[in-house]
């Protein structure tokens, strides 16, 4: 508990002792003080002048509190993989310092890789607070029990204070600490981005420290185009054996030793047992459901070690309208889009209307299911088994069933 809070609590006790019961409550109302006293988490000080200016000149639209921690994620093939990542409490609220595993499990949502999307609006200002909730799944003497982290807002073109590169100029966040990132999104900026940790990037990114970041001017609009539905497809990879070695011993191997054995779509793999609840196709965020005549936006994102993903939906050519958060002056049609670590593509898929079907019996027109998958075949194998990779389906339904 910090000194001010302690002094204030003493003052309340004194008032009650002397019979002035209402005085402290009137002060709280008058000063609009928060009544909750948070634990003594250390806020890493930023640039005081800059912060003062930010809060004076900007109306903060929303504050997001992100917590980094470790955990296990169950995969559709029955394996459990050790990950690091970003999580949060319900509605991204501040739950103060996390000191124990019990506290973490009670206050925060279970760790998910990638972390949940953060969606921002062009022209508005935000505060994003990074808290380090600590590591709890490691062996006692693992060398990574006490590691620091940051957030790098990939593609946001920020000043170093909020760019998440350690010690340029602010230190990264150790357990029990927090750091505030103050962001104003320019009015002319929109599109698909991502965020990731920038400490010892090879290890921390590969361990799962990333999440999608979306900027929009208006819902269902991008770069002047309209769409009916959108899906974010985040393609990533992990070396599950390396992760287990990190957890047990914590000695970090040479970066070049990564050998991914899982290639994922939104943190999942496809399972040939079609009703597996953990399979990509049974995840509402990954199964692409749309109706005849609609336009679907796919926000394609990738991060990883050296895998180049090849996004390939059967039955459709998509219109690539933007990349890396910028509108393309000359959009182009593709049925296979190659995407490497850090890249993003915004692609529109126009779902044909069955009533306008041409006389082509073999063409993909009308409701039904078709697959979309990584066409770099190395990625279609997890733990050596095909087709346990980044594969999902376009599930097109008739208008009448809307």
Q: Kindly list the residues in this chain that would bind Cu ion in the complex (CB under 5 A).
A: 149, 197, 199, 204, 209
d(CA 235, CA 311): 9
Nearer to Cu ion among residue 170 and residue 231 (C-beta): 170
Q: Residue 209 CB, nearest distance to Cu ion (Å)?
A: 5
Q: Residue 205 CB, nearest distance to Cu ion (Å)?
A: 8
Which tokens is 220 given?
Answer: 């269902």
Which tokens is 240 given?
Answer: 């599950």
Nearest CA among 171, 133, 119, 135 for reference residue 150: 171
Q: Residue 149 CB, nearest distance to Cu ion (Å)?
A: 3
In the block, residue with structure tokens 């900026």: 189
Nearer to Cu ion among residue 83 and residue 291 (C-beta): 83
Please give the sequence-ordered ranges of beta strands (E in DSSP) within 145-196, or none if there are none. 152-154, 177-184, 191-196
Nearer to Cu ion among residue 86 and residue 349 (C-beta): 86
131 burial level (CB within 10 Å; 0-12, 13-18, 19+): buried
Q: Residue 250 CB, nearest distance to Cu ion (Å)?
A: 14
Q: Residue 194 CB, nearest distance to Cu ion (Å)?
A: 14
Q: Which residue is nearest to Cu ion (CB)?
A: 197
Nearer to Cu ion among residue 206 and residue 233 (C-beta): 206
d(CA 33, CA 26): 10
Nearest CA among 84, 93, 88, 59 for reference residue 242: 84
- How far is the CA of 206 from the CAs of 92, 148, 178, in angstroms? 24, 15, 23
d(CA 288, CA 104): 33
Nearest CA among 314, 139, 279, 289 for reference residue 229: 289
Pairing, β 229-238 against β 295-303: parallel
Nearer to Cu ion among residue 267 and residue 315 (C-beta): 267
d(CA 135, CA 331): 45
Q: Residue 202 CB, nearest distance to Cu ion (Å)?
A: 11
Q: Residue 121 CB, nearest distance to Cu ion (Å)?
A: 27
Q: Residue 113 CB, nearest distance to Cu ion (Å)?
A: 13
Nearer to Cu ion among residue 129 and residue 199 (C-beta): 199
Nearer to Cu ion among residue 149 and residue 388 (C-beta): 149
d(CA 312, CA 379): 12
Nearer to Cu ion among residue 197 and residue 396 (C-beta): 197
Q: Is 81 in a helix, a strand, or coil?
A: strand
Q: Are 172 and 151 in contact (CB under 8 A)?
A: no
Q: Residue 248 CB, nearest distance to Cu ion (Å)?
A: 19
Q: Is 226 in a helix, a strand, or coil?
A: strand
Q: Residue 172 CB, nearest distance to Cu ion (Å)?
A: 7
Q: Is 389 in a helix, a strand, or coil?
A: coil
Nearer to Cu ion among residue 76 and residue 205 (C-beta): 205
Backbone angles phi and psi of 380, in degrees to 5: -85, 15
d(CA 311, CA 322): 15
Nearer to Cu ion among residue 205 and residue 347 (C-beta): 205
Nearer to Cu ion among residue 65 and residue 204 (C-beta): 204
Peptide bond into 281 cis (omega under 30): no
Nearest CA among 54, 4, 59, 56 for reference residue 34: 4
Q: Residue 322 CB, nearest distance to Cu ion (Å)?
A: 29
d(CA 346, CA 316): 15
């Amino acid at each position: 508990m910090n000194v001010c809070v302690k002094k204030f609590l003493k003052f309340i006790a004194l008032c009650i002792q002397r019979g002035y019961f209402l005085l402290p409550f009137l002060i709280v109302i008058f000063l609009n003080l928060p009544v909750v006293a948070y634990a003594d988490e250390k806020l890493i000080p930023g640039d005081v002048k800059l912060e003062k200016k930010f809060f004076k000149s900007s109306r903060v639209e929303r504050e997001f509190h992100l917590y980094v921690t470790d955990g296990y994620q169950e995969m559709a093939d029955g394996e459990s993989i050790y990950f690091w990542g970003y999580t949060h409490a319900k509605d991204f609220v501040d739950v103060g310092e996390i000191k124990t595993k019990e506290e973490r499990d009670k206050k925060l949502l279970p760790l998910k890789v990638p972390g949940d999307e953060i969606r921002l609006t062009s022209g508005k200002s935000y505060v994003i607070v990074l808290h380090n909730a600590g590591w709890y799944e490691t062996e006692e003497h693992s060398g990574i029990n006490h590691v620091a982290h940051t957030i790098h807002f990939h593609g946001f073109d920020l000043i170093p204070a909020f760019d998440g590169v350690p010690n340029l100029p602010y230190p990264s966040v150790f357990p029990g600490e927090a750091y505030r990132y103050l962001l104003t999104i320019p009015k002319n900026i929109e599109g698909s981005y991502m965020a990731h940790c920038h400490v010892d990037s090879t290890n921390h990114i590969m361990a799962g420290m990333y999440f999608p970041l979306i900027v929009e001017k208006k819902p269902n609009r991008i770069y002047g185009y309209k769409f009916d539905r959108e899906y974010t497809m985040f393609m990533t990879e992990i070396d599950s054996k390396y992760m287990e070695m990190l957890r047990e011993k914590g000695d970090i191997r040479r970066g070049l030793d990564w050998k991914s054995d899982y290639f994922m779509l939104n943190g999942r793999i496809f399972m040939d047992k079609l009703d597996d609840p953990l399979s990509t196709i049974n995840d509402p965020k990954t199964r692409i459901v749309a109706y005849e005549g609609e336009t679907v936006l796919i926000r394609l994102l990738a991060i990883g070690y050296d895998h180049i993903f090849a996004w390939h939906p059967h039955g459709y050519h998509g219109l690539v309208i933007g990349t890396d958060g910028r509108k393309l002056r000359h959009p182009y049609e593709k049925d296979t889009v190659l995407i490497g670590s850090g890249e993003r593509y915004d692609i529109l898929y126009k779902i044909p209307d069955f009533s306008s079907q041409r006389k082509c019996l073999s063409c993909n027109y009308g409701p039904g299911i078709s697959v979309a998958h990584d066409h770099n075949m190395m990625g279609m194998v997890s733990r050596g088994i095909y087709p346990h990779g980044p594969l999902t389906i376009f599930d097109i339904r008739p208008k009448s069933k809307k």
